[in-house]
Structure 1
């Protein structure tokens, strides 16, 4: 005699009267959806999935005594699950009523069987990818569950965003700040294509990033299935590593190689997961670790290149150092060399803040978003030592001076034009070797410290003059960033958007121990707010985070303010609102065109922030600017400050 298995009873309704006579509803028992019907005084629990296409029967109705599937009208007995003459009836489950509450009896759930996505996500965590930004959806649920398991173990942090573009921007910013990859995560079709802009931002700014996408089941690929996009082909242009995970793949090896490519190439890696592959049993396959898989990258430069560079430095009387974003993790050694040479140090816009503007050798930003201090010393120099910079037009490094270029990317060396000495090597190692040469590189150097201080004095006097300008049409950006210089926490991470707000930020905000995150080469509007989310994932509440955007940029991903509230991110957002795409207007006029289609109609950003559950502030007079910014930075939790600004005072 077969023994009846033990049932575990799950309360699904507190009161049976909730489900009226002649109605059905979906209830949840354990991990199972159940269709609960109430017909002729009897409650019956049935499988919720129609056996034809999986239609949710709890969303159906009882018509003429039969339970009708909401998707295609197939009929079942609401008591026994029979479909009449067809051999495709529904399974039923035991029901009991106690104290008017309804319980459903299920057999003990089988323990979770480890899947290929479980061990792939575990491999991802082992390799140090512990932040994931994305959106859960129908074609990535198996992969999502693997991410959930690791999050519940405390091994990773998942941040659910409102738009997949924000996920990839957040992951890009995370990589720019830390040098390590984070993951962005999306469903098939439009969810995956929404990742594209942020992935390109990461690619062109050399930020390591991992994209994980769901995909429709393999058996329907090529049939024009709902949300079917060939994601491997779609990602070919942006992804350095780009693979579909298949049944017979070496699953953990694919994940290990994806992350290895992202780290070593500082590029985009993409894995796409067909729906049915996500739940395959892992069998004997185990998660991998990075042990023994990545070599040390402290490469020394060739001796002849190093010797030539040292000789050039020794001969120069007024050398300067220009550092770019690529040198952001090597500034200790670079500043030590500058102090030995007593030479000015300036940065590209992407490198802003890598040396504090309060340092005696700092000259601020060079180029279009820069200061006249930096351009003055470049023009006075007899040697440019360019480290980790890309020679973009925005920076405007002159070719008319002798140049030593140091970079760990051989393709970046002499990329746009010939330089006098191209030195290939890991930056800290290379600068350390130059530093060790001691006496010969210090000879004949002009001490420019007093001259640097003089030029700062002249520039600050000029800024004071500009602060007196007013037209009565809003606060000047100069006043905003002068005030922010005084009130922003000295170790804040500053996330910058695109437009006139960014130019003013680069020119007028004086850095201390800040980090700056921006969409550099791609120059994508809307970057600042998602970038702040990526920064928060990296540092949590250990450092303040401030996002600065114009009204055009903030509206790109304005809904992500709800993400700040959901996770209680201590992020401050400053919106410069001038009701115009001011940078575009400026370009139209500079090009001889009429101003056209750049006016904006905006909501009240402050009230919007309040409606989301954060602090919303607004200031439209310079008299209240300082006190309002002070309130903003002292607030604990997500907050937004809307500043009415003059589009012409930048």
Structure 2
């Protein structure tokens, strides 16, 4: 029976001379792949998919008057699509016409799109607020990618195609750290998924919500050693708190809802993997996307009254309390600073919490620990009570257990994690502080630490001024780089920091005002800064500047992502400290009394590389040129890279 569907004509060649006699070519008519042939003076159109293994016939060739499949060598007639010998596995053909030297192919009008499992899950994901996705589209995730394309066309989602899946996971991790909400990273099966593993761990250990979406080979070949087959549910079992394979009979909207809900409430990683055959399966007639309406609880947990009473009694007795803010206190920094002002107490931060209080605030004491300042450690040592909010007591931070400690955290497992504390308070920080304030009701008896803070800053700035006088013929001092950044960096910037000597110098010498800071904290993964800046920019857009600070070792891990900045016109400013060495590792080798070995680096000219990608780039070799170059960097409207040649010993 003849089809009642209308034939739609599609131009596939602007000029028939583009396909010489005896040649074949793959073209597309609407969504239909076509093998266009030119044989014996006639243009013909065949289905591009070989009926045997699906080989792309348009990549084959005409040999001895027959079209040969490039995958397994089966022959078909270039015009009729029929195989020799009368076999019944011929290829569908389509009408062709010529108009004004152009070639047109006629195909039946397409059916109205039928809602798929992927459509239901992508819409549910968007409804739950996951609207930013970083990843790579590939052969084992095409069905879900197509569903995300439809969401993007509706204006519900933004997809950013990166150059390495590791960058996708770091970008999603940084987005979660900055906003407290999950973004998604997206990959194919096998190597694409395993490339995301490091960034997923970065999110997990720093308590950032993240949704990982991976393609998977067809279910029927799982376990057979199929091409790019990796058991991702087992492989991600240690990193993903929620970790499921989507099946044909899954409750698809519910599964996506649970994945996103878990990421948000547990501040952890969720992973869904999509077998190839499930992605394009038609949704059941009654399947509908879900929303978070009445599916998620408020997190304003009030602390146990006994813990509150014990904490308040300690605060009442304290003369010199010091407040420590960690990354977990990011959403509550205003409430904490207000409480500090009530106590006139110095406020110091962990390195991950850098910038939660401005260094120029009268109570700001800078960063505690190995990447910090002597100001913060002095106040901790002089205190009679530490009030710790959202910090993890890592060795890097060095919060002393020798002082009485009140620890407040939303996660009961984080309380007294490494040693007992005097009072462990389980509760949401802002809610807990309000209760503290009401209970204290002016009964605190603390001294005003403001004059001492000012004096300690004076001493430290005098020391920094002395260090600035240290110069070298081998490169510019890192201190000079960060002092220049202190003068010129926009006060509301989001700053993404890498790992290595550049990070230590950054923590010690950069003086935050109203910036936010993102770093690979507990994982300490080199290469974080540039992909993190991509994630940060997708969160803030052009409402705030985004600055990445990296060493040469870290930047080279994801150097190609500069092309991503250019592609999406992300006005990210990247400052790279180039000392041609893994300087932090050299330092550790010396400290461990090892020989310095295999830490030297051979680098490109990063400024010229940026220019070759289409970004602005400038290299600075002399300290006298640093301020002018940095002014030019920050004045650029698009993506820009400032390369500074530094001395590995001046940190």
Q: What pairs with 1:109-508 in structure 2 (closer than 5 Å)?
A: 109-283=110-284, 284-443=286-445, 445-508=446-509
Could you list the per-position Cα deviations for residues 173-195 of structure 1 after superposition, in whole angstroms to 9, with x for gaps in the alignment? 00000000000000000000000
Q: What pairs with 1:77-96 in structure 2 (closer than 5 Å)?
A: 77-84=77-84, 85-96=86-97
Q: Report the alpha carbon displacement of residue 436 of structure 1 after superposing the two structures with TM.
A: 1.8
Q: Report the alpha carbon displacement of residue 41 of structure 1 after superposing the two structures with TM.
A: 1.1
Name the structure 1 match of 2:45.
45
Could you list the per-position Cα deviations for residues 418-474 of structure 1 after superposition, in whole angstroms to 9, with x for gaps in the alignment? 10010110111001111123444422x111111101111111111000000112211
Q: Report the alpha carbon displacement of residue 476 of structure 1 after superposing the two structures with TM.
A: 0.5
- The answer as to whether partners of 2:316 and 2:440 remain within 8 angstroms in 1 is no
Name the structure 2 match of 1:560.
561
Q: Which SS does the other structure have where 2:107 is aligned?
A: strand
Q: Report the alpha carbon displacement of residue 637 of structure 1 after superposing the two structures with TM.
A: 0.6
Q: Which SS does the other structure have where 2:643 is aligned?
A: strand
Name the structure 1 match of 2:17.
17
Equivalent pairs, count: 649
- The answer as to whether partners of 1:35 and 1:45 remain within 8 angstroms in 2 is yes
Name the structure 2 match of 1:105.
106
- The answer as to whether partners of 1:313 and 1:441 remain within 8 angstroms in 2 is no
Q: Which SS does the other structure have where 1:27 is aligned?
A: strand
Moved over 3 A (4+): 1-5, 438-441
- The answer as to whether partners of 1:314 and 1:440 remain within 8 angstroms in 2 is no
Uncovered stretches (5+) of structure 2, i.e. residues with no partner: none
Name the structure 1 match of 2:577.
576
Could you list the per-position Cα deviations for residues 349-383 of structure 1 after superposition, in whole angstroms to 9, with x for gaps in the alignment? 00000011111000000010111111111111000
- Going from structure 1 to structure 2, the CA distance change for 1:3 and 1:268 (only over 3 Å counts) comes to closer
Q: Which SS does the other structure have where 2:412 is aligned?
A: coil
- The answer as to whether partners of 2:168 and 2:186 remain within 8 angstroms in 1 is yes
Q: Which SS does the other structure have where 2:496 is aligned?
A: strand
Work out the CA distance in 2 between the residues paired with 1:218 and 1:398: 53
Work out the CA distance in 1 between the residues paired with 2:342 and 2:79: 88
Could you list the per-position Cα deviations for residues 193-218 of structure 1 after superposition, in whole angstroms to 9, with x for gaps in the alignment? 00000000000000000000000011
> RMSD of the TM alignment (CA)?
0.9
Q: Report the alpha carbon displacement of residue 510 of structure 1 after superposing the two structures with TM.
A: 0.2
Uncovered stretches (5+) of structure 1, i.e. residues with no partner: none
Work out the CA distance in 1 between the residues paired with 2:2 and 2:58: 32
Name the structure 1 match of 2:33.
33
Q: What pairs with 1:491-530 in structure 2 (closer than 5 Å)?
A: 491-530=492-531
- The answer as to whether partners of 2:577 and 2:646 remain within 8 angstroms in 1 is yes
Q: Report the alpha carbon displacement of residue 234 of structure 1 after superposing the two structures with TM.
A: 0.5
Q: Which SS does the other structure have where 1:442 is aligned?
A: coil
Q: Report the alpha carbon displacement of residue 36 of structure 1 after superposing the two structures with TM.
A: 0.9
Q: Report the alpha carbon displacement of residue 3 of structure 1 after superposing the two structures with TM.
A: 7.0
Name the structure 2 match of 1:71.
71
Q: Which SS does the other structure have where 1:437 is aligned?
A: helix
Work out the CA distance in 1 between the residues paired with 2:2 and 2:259: 51
- Going from structure 1 to structure 2, the CA distance change for 1:333 and 1:64 (only over 3 Å counts) comes to same
Q: Report the alpha carbon displacement of residue 220 of structure 1 after superposing the two structures with TM.
A: 1.3
